[in-house]
Amino acid sequence: MYLSSDDAIFDPFMLPPYSPAGPAPLYTWEPSELERRLQYTPGNRHPRHTSTFMRKCGPVAMLLYNRDSGESTPTYGRRDVVEGAVNIDCSARCRIQRVVVQLDARADAVSTGTLAVNHVLFRESATLWSAEGRAASCCCPSLLPFALRFPTTFRDPTRNNQNVVLPPSFDTTFHSMERSLFACVQYTITVLVSKGYTLGVFPNTKKIFVPFNFQPRSRAYQSLPPRRGAFFLDSLKSVPEEWVQFTLTVPAIERPPRASIDVHFFIPTVKIFALRDRIPFHITLRGPGVSLRDFLVRERSGVRAVTPPPVRVHIMRQVAVEASGRRAQRSTVISRLEDWCVSPLALTAADVRDDDGELDFSGELLLRCDVSVGGFAAAGIIVQDYMVFTVASPSRPLQHVVPIRIVTDSWIDEVSFYEEWL
């Protein structure tokens, strides 16, 4: 190859000189005083499991890979893949005609009064091996791997076959002398091993049936208000946009003469709480001092009691079943009161003056440990959660119900949060 004199020849030693680059600027994931975080998605801190779950029945065993070693029931999440294998002893391989693995989900509910729901949400199956078309001397392999992916939706027959997100595993029972209710959403994986027919008539099929938990993860789009100081009232004043207010009025009575009292309830604006969140709330009573005294337990034997029995806060779960235009529902309390404190401005009934004043109460709710899923509506089963405020009244109790949503994970990345404070 020849180059003409007009061709430019690249010489690396003829490059112009460059000055060394300066150090990179300092960065931090926390916004400065003049910056504001627009969106934040916490990282996934859940480790990948490496153990194997096994269920054995005679010469056949089902293996499920990537499971938690401490779980007695396998657990899967949204868009997970059920990976595993069917292991068959050598003594039984040559008699097997067919091996099938099947993934099922169904919803069942029964209420006293012949109200029943029975729906198959989905059914995925795969034939791992079949003797059909093979030589008579061909034996089934001893290890048959499989991988089945969860569908993201199913066709809900109660909603004109619309695509609906799969509900989590759920099981609850309400017993009553008059009317009981049972609702269940169950996910199972089944291995069917066929050995032909006994006496040429009866199918000889061995089944390995493994129920598992389906728990799709969810997270709130916003964090809970930060707790500032000893009382939530400090947080309410510093970040008022993160709290929402509801008001009830306790009516006035004539005997004994008591003026009306305004009751203000404050809860986080987001109204979405994780299973293990400490759910804050705040209550303010405003009215004449003589009326406010009724909301405090008076001193007894020199001991100050500051818990107000006329005010109650709890989280209620309502489970409903709908079928053929009829509906049956039951409710239960799924929370417990963790903390309850009273504003130091008014600790006893004697501290409340006769003129207009206010009493402030702050508390935290925790969901019961046996609550493992949030609300959903699928296949005729509706699970809804509410925060309920109840105030005693001379005529009848006053109640305010606020719909809320329960999710699996807190908004904040707990590991990063604790690392920051170490």
* Residues 52-73 pLDDT 10s: 999 998 889 999 998 887 778 9
Same domain, 192 and 329: no
Domain with 248 in it: 232-296+309-407
Same domain, 253 and 160: no
Number of domains in the chain: 2
| DSSP class of 195 | E
Rounded to whole angstroms, how far apart are CA atoms 251 and 272?
A: 32
Rounded to whole angstroms, how far apart are CA atoms 318 and 327?
A: 12
Rounded to whole angstroms, how far apart are CA atoms 359 and 361?
A: 7
Among 235, 237, 219, which residue's Cα sits nearest to residue 227? Answer: 235
Higher pLDDT residue, 280 or 341? Answer: 280
Among 181, 154, 187, which residue's Cα sits nearest to residue 382? Answer: 181
Rounded to whole angstroms, how far apart are CA atoms 378 and 157?
A: 9
Domain boundary among 152, 183, 214: 214
Examine the pLDDT at 335 and tell me if it is beyond 90. Answer: yes
Cβ–Cβ under 8 Å, residues 322 and 382: yes
- Residue 173 bridge partners (DSSP): 182
Same domain, 64 and 124: yes
Please, what's the b/e burial string for 195-225 (b: 16 or more CB within 10 A of its CB; e: otherwise)? Answer: eeeeeeeeeeebebebebbbbbebebeeebb
Tokens of 373: 């899923």
Same domain, 196 and 339: no
CATH code of the domain covering residue 282: 2.60.40.640
Examine the pLDDT at 288 and tell me if it is beyond 90. Answer: no
Q: Is residue 4 a part of any domain in this protein?
A: no
Cα distances from 406 to residues 225, 271, 354, 409, in angstroms, run 17, 9, 42, 9
Same domain, 200 and 263: no
Identify residue 292 by its one-letter amino acid code. L
pLDDT confidence of residue 2: 43
Rounded to whole angstroms, how far apart are CA atoms 280 and 301?
A: 32
Examine the pLDDT at 3 and tell me if it is beyond 50. Answer: no
Residue 166 CB neighbour total at 10 angstroms:
21
Q: Using one digit for the tens of pLDDT, what is the confidence trace for 177-200?
A: 678 899 999 999 999 999 876 555
Cβ–Cβ under 8 Å, residues 316 and 333: yes
Same domain, 252 and 384: yes
Q: Is residue 13 a part of any domain in this protein?
A: no
Name the least confident of 126-135, 288-297, 385-394: 288-297
Examine the pLDDT at 233 and tell me if it is beyond 90. Answer: no
